[in-house]
Structures are given as structure tokens and as C-alpha cells.
Amino acid sequence: MKRKTRICLLLAVFVVAALPVLAKAPEALTVFVNGYRVTGKALWYKGRIYVPLEDVASATNGQYNYDETNRTASVMVGPPNAAAGSPTLVLPSQAERPYLKVVWEKKYTTGTNARVLATVINRGSSQANDVEAICIFKDETLQEVSAVARPVGTLAPGQSRTVEFKLFESEASAPNYAYPGYAGYSYGAPIVSGVGRRGEVLLDGQWTRISYELKFNYN
């Protein structure tokens, strides 16, 4: 009787221990290789993507070979003897659209104002039209103080342009913020920095609390 009880307990332990493994089953994914969709099985498991080599070769019209003697697998991606200039499938979302990025900035203060110079570049393969850069100023509590938009124009692939942003554009734009710290401010008045209350701007020459939004149109 005692022996049967032990067997039942062991079985119960094994079943419970297997539950977390079953809860983390691999998830199916859609994978592209060289712009070609892999139609076989692709799995995402524990932060890694697993794709069978034979499926990669098949998706790209390539070759797959496995040597059982040496336990060596080899894959030739794409047609091994493709003619020069043969068409290759690409993903429009990845290869035919602009890719805009702020690659350089200089942040400084002058008088009672904060200014930012930023260089925007198009690192994509398509032209970006009607580009607009928005610089978002935040105070030391990361509350948004102001968002200043600047037209950048048209950026061809590889082209860049530098624009300037000002925290306060004019006296009329400065004092009417819905934050306690801006109650008596004007464009010509000193701005208190580093006090730590909501709404007061940090202007100490090390302005870091800014971010950008880039908008554009493309065909």
C-alpha cells in the first residue's frame, strides 16, 4: 500500500512541473528572407526566431543540402546562377519609403529663451515630401511645455537639412501656459531654473529634455 502511494505522488509532481512548459508554447510568425516570404514554419521561442533551413532555401528558390556523414547543413539563398539584373522581390514597407531621423542637435540658451538646432536626414530610398519637424520641449518633471513645428521641405534620399527651434517665439507665446510656474512669465522676464516645481523650465546649458516628431508624405 505504501509503494502505491509513492507512485501516485511522483506522478502528481511530474504533471504540475510540466504546466509552465506548456504555457510557453512557441508562437507562429511571418518571416521574409531577401524580400521573399517563408511559407514553412517559423517559430518565436524564448526571444529567438527559428526557421527551418530548407524553408529558407525554398522561399528564395535557393538550394539546401544536409550531409549526414559530416552532420553539416548548407544553404544557398536565391538562385545560384541567377542572370544579372534578374528581378528581386522587395517589401515596399521596408525598401521603398523614406526613413527620417534627427542625426545632430545643438542645445543652448540665449537670454531668456531656449534654442535647439537639429539636423534631419532621409536615410531611406524614397523621397520625402512636405517634411515637418516638431520639437517637443519638456520641463524637469517631463511635463510638456511647448511643441514647436518647423517646415523642412523635401528631402531626397541621403539629403539632410538643419532647422532651428525656439521655446518662446514671441512675447505673446510665453506667458499663457496652464502651469503654475508660468503665471507671471513673459518673453523678456528671467526664467527660474532648477527649482523643481511643475512648469518651470530647466535652462542650464544642458538641455536634454526634448524629443522630436517627424511627419512627411510620400508616394
Note the pLDDT of residue 105: 83
Q: Is residue 13 scored above 60 in pLDDT?
A: no
> Residue 186 sits in a domain of what CATH number?
2.60.40
Residues 46 and 107 grouped into a single domain: no
Q: Could you tell me if 126 and 182 are in contact, meaning their C-beta atoms sit under 8 angstroms apart?
A: no
Note the pLDDT of residue 120: 92
Residues 58 and 106 grouped into a single domain: no
Q: Average pLDDT in the 12-16 region?
A: 35
Q: Pick the range with the lowest mean pLDDT from 127-131, 142-146, 181-185.
A: 181-185
Residue 190's pLDDT band (boundaries 50, 70, 90)?
A: very low
Q: Average pLDDT in the 98-117 region?
A: 78
Q: Is the pTM of this model over 0.75?
A: no
- On average, the pLDDT of the chain sits at 64
Domain count along the chain:
2
207: Cβ–Cβ under 8 A, 6 or more apart, which residues? 107, 108, 109, 114, 116
Nearest to 121 by CA among 163, 95, 155, 165: 155
Residues 105 and 194 grouped into a single domain: yes
| Range of the structural domain that residue 117 is part of | 100-217
Q: Is residue 161 scored above 90 in pLDDT?
A: yes
Note the pLDDT of residue 160: 93
The answer to whether position 53 is within a domain reads: yes
Residues 175 and 134 grouped into a single domain: yes
Q: Is residue 147 scored above 80 in pLDDT?
A: yes
Residue 108's pLDDT band (boundaries 50, 70, 90)?
A: confident
Nearest to 201 by CA among 109, 128, 86, 95: 109
The answer to whether position 7 is within a domain reads: no
161: Cβ–Cβ under 8 A, 6 or more apart, which residues? 119, 120, 152, 153, 155
Sort 52 into a burial class: Cβ within 10 Å, 0-12 / 13-18 / 19+.
middle
